[in-house]
């Protein structure tokens, strides 16, 4: 057995067992606290709602077990099981050009993996979400969305993939730097077109019609120095009863979007507080900071790929036969397949960074709107979304980009008192 094969198998086993262990911890912790509403929420959330959130959380977590195991099986089948070799040989019989062969190999691999994961996605939507009253989708809408996503992925992703593979073959040892510039340009392009071209493919966006609320929001935006191309309501209720609000785009394409489910549930002062939180992200330049971090990490990963693709042990250790000449497409594909296995244990760092931004945005909302209104809005959203108030701390540290409810509310209440 190759040394790297052993390292890969140990990392895969460690990642999968950690994910299952965290899930088991989470379910046990939530169940242990399901019969008592935390004191700070007891006046607003009933015991029945608290138990519903516990049931929903545990059902979602249990549904993740098959996904963890399926990912392990697929990864082993495609690597050590010879799946990638078989796919490569299949396409070699049809395509002689290295670029088109590489594109076919990568696209077909991710297509087959998505196809294998489709039943789990269907189960989550039409069993779990349906059972707890959140799903509004029909099977026709579900599969229509899948077709749109696949078509959009090909329309946007195929040119980028071709560009990266071409750069890997033609630009010598420093290809990764040119590919990084291409990746930056692609991401900025998608950010620019998302609000006006991509998002409307899946949802309907209409201008906010409530004149009183619109005036209140515009005053808050003016106070915060935020300019947007418009205020829009998204028909989120077509697919789900979950509610949210966000701003998207940059430059002249910035727009503020409210889910119709959120507007139906919150009063104007609470909506203003939620928006103030989102504007806090803008004021603290969180989106820009996250983009910069993402670009820096992508540069490091591309440099690492540039090194690995020249190492025969990287291919052989993952069960891939590239003969005497390494394949750029195979290297790229292997890298994206196995990298999550080696980076999973770094998740708490990412979550911690995201939580820091959430605390800063909450503090900004408390200064420019009302901490109490934001607390009331959050509690309503926790209740409506059946979000558990008592997550396992370690599970939350790995997976949750937002602070746990009790910590977040306590932080906001301290801001309000200050």
Q: With left for phi above 0 and alpha for psi between -120 and 50, is residue 36 left, alpha or beta?
A: beta
Dist CA 66 CA 71 (whole Å): 8
Dist CA 315 CA 319 (whole Å): 6
Q: Is 55 a catalytic residue?
A: no
Q: What angle (nearest 5°) sits at the alpha carbon of residue 307, between those of residues 306 and 309?
A: 70
Which residue is catalytic, options 278, 358, 373, 384? 278
Dist CA 144 CA 155 (whole Å): 16
Judged on CB neighbours under 10 Å (0-12, 13-18, 19+), 43 is exposed
Q: Where are the beta strands (DSSP E) in 75-155?
A: none
Q: Are 201 and 227 in contact (CB under 8 A)?
A: no
- 106 DSSP 8-state letter: H
Q: What angle (nearest 5°) sits at the alpha carbon of residue 9, between those of residues 8 and 13?
A: 120
Judged on CB neighbours under 10 Å (0-12, 13-18, 19+), 410 is middle
% helix, strand, coil for the chain, step of 5: 75, 5, 20
Q: Which two structure tokens, joined as six digits, stand for 243?
A: 């509610």
Q: Are 278 and 369 in contact (CB under 8 A)?
A: no
Which residue is catalytic, options 362, 373, 384, 392? 362
Q: Are 195 and 253 in contact (CB under 8 A)?
A: yes
- 238 DSSP 8-state letter: G
Dist CA 232 CA 262 (whole Å): 12
Strand order of the β-sheet with 245-248 is 205-207, 231-234, 255-259, 245-248
Question: What are the catalytic residues?
Answer: 278, 362
């Amino acid at each position: 057995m190759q040394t790297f094969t052993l390292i890969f198998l140990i990392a895969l086993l460690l990642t999968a067992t950690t994910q299952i262990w965290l899930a088991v911890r989470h379910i046990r912790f939530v169940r242990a606290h399901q019969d008592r509403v935390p004191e700070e929420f007891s006046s607003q959330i009933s015991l029945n709602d608290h138990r519903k959130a516990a049931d929903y959380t545990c059902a979602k977590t249990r549904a993740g077990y098959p996904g963890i195991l399926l990912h392990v099986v697929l990864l082993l089948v495609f690597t050590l099981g010879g799946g990638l070799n078989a796919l490569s040989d299949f396409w070699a019989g049809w395509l002689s050009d290295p670029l088109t062969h590489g594109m076919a190999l990568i696209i077909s691999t991710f297509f087959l993996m998505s196809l294998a994961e489709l039943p789990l996605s269907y189960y989550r939507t039409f069993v779990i979400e349906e059972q707890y009253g959140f799903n509004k989708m029909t099977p026709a809408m579900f599969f229509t969305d899948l077709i749109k996503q696949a078509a959009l992925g090909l329309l946007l992703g195929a040119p980028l993939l071709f560009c990266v593979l071409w750069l890997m073959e033609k630009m010598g040892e420093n290809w990764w730097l040119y590919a990084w510039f291409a990746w930056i340009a692609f991401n900025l392009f998608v950010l620019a077109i998302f609000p006006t071209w991509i998002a409307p493919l899946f949802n309907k966006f209409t201008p906010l019609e409530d004149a009183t609320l619109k005036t209140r929001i515009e005053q808050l935006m003016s106070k915060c120095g935020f300019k947007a191309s418009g205020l829009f309501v998204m028909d989120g209720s077509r697919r789900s009863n979950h509610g949210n609000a966000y701003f998207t785009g940059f430059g002249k394409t910035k727009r503020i979007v409210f889910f119709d489910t959120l507007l139906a549930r919150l009063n104007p002062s609470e909506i203003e507080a939620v928006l103030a939180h989102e504007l806090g992200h803008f004021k603290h330049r969180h989106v820009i900071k996250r983009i910069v971090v993402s670009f820096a990490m992508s540069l490091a990963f591309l440099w690492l790929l540039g090194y690995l693709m020249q190492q025969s042990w990287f291919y052989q250790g993952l069960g891939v036969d590239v003969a005497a000449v390494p394949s750029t497409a195979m290297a790229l594909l292997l890298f994206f397949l196995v990298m999550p296995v080696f980076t999973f244990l770094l998740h708490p760092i990412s979550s911690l960074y995201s939580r820091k931004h959430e605390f800063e945005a909450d503090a900004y909302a408390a200064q420019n709107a009302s901490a109490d209104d934001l607390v009331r809005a959050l509690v309503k959203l926790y209740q409506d979304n059946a979000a558990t108030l008592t997550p396992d701390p370690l599970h939350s540290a790995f997976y949750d980009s937002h602070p746990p409810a009790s910590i977040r509310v306590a932080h906001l209440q301290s801001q309000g008192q200050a």
